[in-house]
Structure 1
């Protein structure tokens, strides 16, 4: 729930910044980027949460595997589109990196909290 709320707030802020800069707000596959990053992060967290009590020692490996999946999705879905004109613009980079970084930070915070609670 926190993930959805934070990603939504960041998305709205991102659109607001693009609009104030005079850029197209729904360009660069921004909606798809936020949806894909949210879906992947939520799926990874749900999967890790379901396996956490059984295999807490494997949490880091599951997280790294999820990160690998995210990179694969980027290179298969977004990178070809962003490189069509031979260059990746700042707005294209931000359209992917802002939701990616937001979800990554929230995933790390969640997993860190889980691991710290386990040790107590």
Structure 2
């Protein structure tokens, strides 16, 4: 694995931990339960999937760089499948999805997605053709 990839994964972990702490702080200040809505599982799964997808893309980057976008989209689709199979049934048990339930999944998902896109676009822009 490349040194740049390891640095990015460390940065991603640091950012996701800071966002997680801020998320818990906001929940606490709003008087909501801080460890409800499978929030810890959501952050862990989103980080693990982002890291796995990024490592997989990096392994295919030089061999089939024209497929990088498709691999990324496939990974994003896989993340949505994980949401619908692991989180969605739990969130819909009471018939509605609360804002805190949506945020428990979407905040780490969006954080990882934004950082992944920024890192991968930088990698693609620095590629020699």
TM range (shorter): over 0.9
Q: Does 2:100 correspond to 1:110?
A: no
* Alpha-carbon RMSD: 1.0
Gaps of 5+ in 1: none
Question: Structure 1 stretches (4+) deviating beyond 4 angstroms?
Answer: none
Gaps of 5+ in 2: 1-9
Instruction: With the length of structure 1 as denominator, give the TM-score of the two structures.
Output: 0.97
Q: Distance in 2 between matches of 1:55 and 1:12?
A: 38
Q: Distance in 2 between matches of 1:61 and 1:10?
A: 28
Residue number among 8, 11, 19 corresponding to 1:10 in the alignment: 19
Residue 68 of structure 1 deviates from its aligned partner by: 0.8
Aligned length: 120
